[in-house]
Structure 1
Amino acid sequence: MTAITFSPPIGRRRALAALNVHLLAALIALVGIGGATRVMEAGLACPDWPLCYGSLLPGRQMNLQVFLEWFHRLDAFVVGVGLLVQASLSAWWRHELPRAVPWLSGAALLLVAVQGGLGALTVTLLLPFSVVTAHLITALLLVALLSACTQVLLEPSTSPMAPVQSRGAVYRLWPALIGVVALLALGQCLLGGLMATQWAAGRCLSSGEGCGWLLAHRLGARPVAVAVLLAAAWALWRRQSERVLAALAAFAVIAQVALGVLSLRLTLAVPAVTVAHQLTAAFLVAVLAAWLSRSLLEPAHLEVSRG
C-alpha cells in the first residue's frame, strides 16, 4: 500500500486552518462568556485592569461574578496570543498561502488590539454603554474575519468546473446578496447590543422605560430573519456547494428568533436563555461570513438550470 503524503505547503495550510478553527471556536465562546458577564452584572467584578484585584488569580475574592470576568479576560488573552501566532505564520508562509490570508490575519490582529483597548476602557470608564457596545461589535467582526479566513484556507486549491447551463442575474449578484444579508445581520446585532448595554429590555418590562430600543430590535429581527431564510432556501435549491452553510444559517436564525421570544416570555429571568441568544448571534455571524467567503471563492459551483 502506497503511503499518502502531503507537500509542505498543503501541510502548512491545513495546520493554519486547524489553528483558525480553534481560534474561531474560542472567539464564539468568548462572546458567550462576555454575554454571561453582562447578564450576571459582573463587568466590574474585577475593579482593576489587566490584573484582577492586583493578581493573576484572585483566590480570596473569587466568586461567580469574579470568575466570569477573570475567565473572560483569560480567554481574551489566549485568543490574542493565538491571533498573534496566526498572523506571524501567515506572514512567514505568505508565498504558500492564498493571497487573502495574510491580509485577513493582519486585520484580525489589528482588531484584537482594538478589542483589548476597548476591554480596558469598559473597566476604567465604568461600563459606558457606547464602549461596551463597541466591544461587542468588534468581537463579532473578529468572528466574521476568522470565519472568512478559515473558509479561504479550507478551500481546495483546484476544484472541478461544474457544467454551466445558466448564468442569470441571481448568479451574478449572489455574493453581493449574501453580503447584504450578512450586513443586515450584523446591523441587527449592533441594535441588540445597544439595547442590551442600556438594559432597555429589562427596564421596558419592569417600568415601561426604554421600550423604543426593544421595539426597534424586534422589528429589525423580522426582515433579517426573512432575508436569511430566503437566501438559504435559494441556496438549498440551486447552490449545491453552499447547502451546508445555508442550512446552518437557517437553523441559527430560527433558533435566534425563538430564543429572543423565549427570553422576553421569561422576562429575562433565566440568564442561560439570554446568553444563548447572544451566543447564537455570534454563531450566525460566523456562518454568514463563511457563506459569503464561499460564494466568492467558488465560482465553479454555478447555479444549474433545472429546466
Structure 2
Amino acid sequence: MRKLIWAALLLAVVVVPFGAYVRLSHAGLGCPDWPGCYGQISPAHAADSIAQAQSLAPDGPVSLGKAWREMAHRYLAGSLGLLILLIGWRAWREKRQRLPAGLLLATVALQGTLGMLTVTLVLKPVIVTSHLLGGMAVLQILAWMALAPGLTPVRASAALPRLAGLLASALVLQLALGGWVSSNYAALACQGFPACNGQSWPELRFDRAFHLLRELGESPDGGLLDFASLVTIHWLHRLGALAVSLLLCSVLWLGWREAALRPHLGCLAAAWLLQIGLGVANVLLQLPLPLAVAHNAGAALLLMTALLLRSRLRAPAAARRRAALPAPPLGPWGRPGAER
C-alpha cells in the first residue's frame, strides 16, 4: 500500500507540471478528440490526419509535436489513474485509509471527465481552470497519504491552527486565480513589476473578467474580451499573492516560537520565496516556458507544505481538557448552576 502511494505521488509530481507544459506550449488541442488522437491510439497512427490538419492551418494548434505532447500527458495521466485504482482496491481490502482513498478515486473520476471536456469544449476557461484544480487536488491528497503519517504532531497556540487553515484556504483560492490567469492567457496583460503597465492601480473591469460561462477569448455577449478584463484578471492574482504573503508571514511569526515546527516553517518560507521569485521573473522576462511551468510546480509545492503544516497542528492540551469536560448542569433559569 505504501509503495503504491509513493509511486502514485512521484508520478503525479510529473503529470501535474507536464499538464501545465502542454497547456503553456499551446498543445492542448494537439489531438482535437478524446481519448485517442483522430480516433487512433497514438499520433504515429494518426500521422496522415495530423499532416492534413497542419496543411490547412500551418500555425494552428495541430502538429505532430503538439499531438505527441498531448498524448504523452494522457498516457501518463492514465497510468496514474490505474495506480490510484489499485490504491483504492488495497485500501478497501485492508480496511485502512479508506476515506482519503475514496476521495482520491472520486477526484480522479472527476478529473478524467474534465480532461475530456477540456478538449471537446475547446479550452473553455472555466473547464481548464477546474482541470488544473483537479490535478492539484489529486497531488495534494497523495502527498497527505504519503507524508502526513510520518510527521510528528505539534501542540501549538490555539490561534496557529486557525491561521494555518486560513493560509491553506487562501492558497487554494490563489491557485484558482492563477489558473484563471493561465486559461485566459492574461499572464502578460500587466507589464512591469510592481506597477502594471506603468500604473500603480490599473483600470479594472470585473463584470467581464470573471464571467464563468463564456468561451476562450470572448466576452459574455460573444464579442472579443477587452484588454481591461485581462488586466483585471492578472491584477487580482497579484493582490491575492499579497494577501497570501501577509498570512504566511503571520504564520511564520506565530509558529516560530515552537522549536519543533521551525524546520517545517523554514521549508514553507523557502517555497514561498521561490514562488514569489518565479512569479516576478515570469512577468519581467515575458513568460519563458521553463519558468512558467516551474511557477505551476512551485504553487503545488507551496500548497503541499501549507496543508501538511496544518495537518500537524493540534490544539493545546489545556483547551483539549476543557473540551473533554462535561457541561455544567443548568439552573432553573437556564443558566449554569448547581444541580437540584
Normalized against structure 1, the TM-score is what?
Answer: 0.79
Superposition map of 1:61-140 within 5 A: 63-94=64-95, 97=96, 101-140=97-136
The answer as to whether partners of 2:125 and 2:184 remain within 8 angstroms in 1 is yes
Tell me which amino acid in the other structure corresponds to 1:188.
Answer: Q
Secondary structure at the residue paired with 1:178?
helix
Q: Distance in 1 between matches of 2:116 and 2:227?
A: 33
Between stretches 275-284 and 19-28, larger displacement belongs to 19-28
Change (3 A) 1:172 1:239: farther
Q: Distance in 2 between matches of 1:152 and 1:203?
A: 39
Superposition map of 1:28-67 within 5 A: 28-59=13-44, 60=47, 63-67=64-68
Note the residue ranges of structure 2 that are not aligned, 5 or more in a row: 51-62, 192-196, 198-225, 318-340
Verify: 1:174 aligned to 2:175, yes or no: no
The Cα shift of 1:88 comes to: 1.1
Tell me which amino acid in the other structure corresponds to 1:274.
Answer: A
Partner of 1:260: 279
Cα deviation 1:94-129 (Å, max 9, x = unaligned): 1xx4xxx21011001100000000000011111100
Q: Aligned pair count? A: 268
Between stretches 66-75 and 199-208, larger displacement belongs to 199-208
The answer as to whether partners of 1:235 and 1:243 remain within 8 angstroms in 2 is yes
Superposition map of 1:1-307 within 5 A: 16-59=1-44, 60=47, 63-94=64-95, 97=96, 101-154=97-150, 171-205=157-191, 208-209=227-228, 210-240=230-260, 242-268=261-287, 270-296=288-314
Tell me which amino acid in the other structure corresponds to 2:102.
Answer: G
Change (3 A) 1:18 1:155: farther
Tell me which amino acid in the other structure corresponds to 1:216.
Answer: L
Q: Distance in 2 between matches of 1:23 and 1:237?
A: 35
Identity of aligned residues (%): 30
Cα deviation 1:68-102 (Å, max 9, x = unaligned): 211111111111111111111111111xx4xxx21
The answer as to whether partners of 1:151 and 1:294 remain within 8 angstroms in 2 is no
Change (3 A) 1:30 1:116: same
Change (3 A) 1:152 1:125: same
Secondary structure at the residue paired with 1:202?
coil
Note the residue ranges of structure 1 that are not aligned, 5 or more in a row: 1-15, 301-307
The answer as to whether partners of 1:83 and 1:108 remain within 8 angstroms in 2 is yes
The higher-RCO structure (CA 8 Å, 6+ apart) is 1
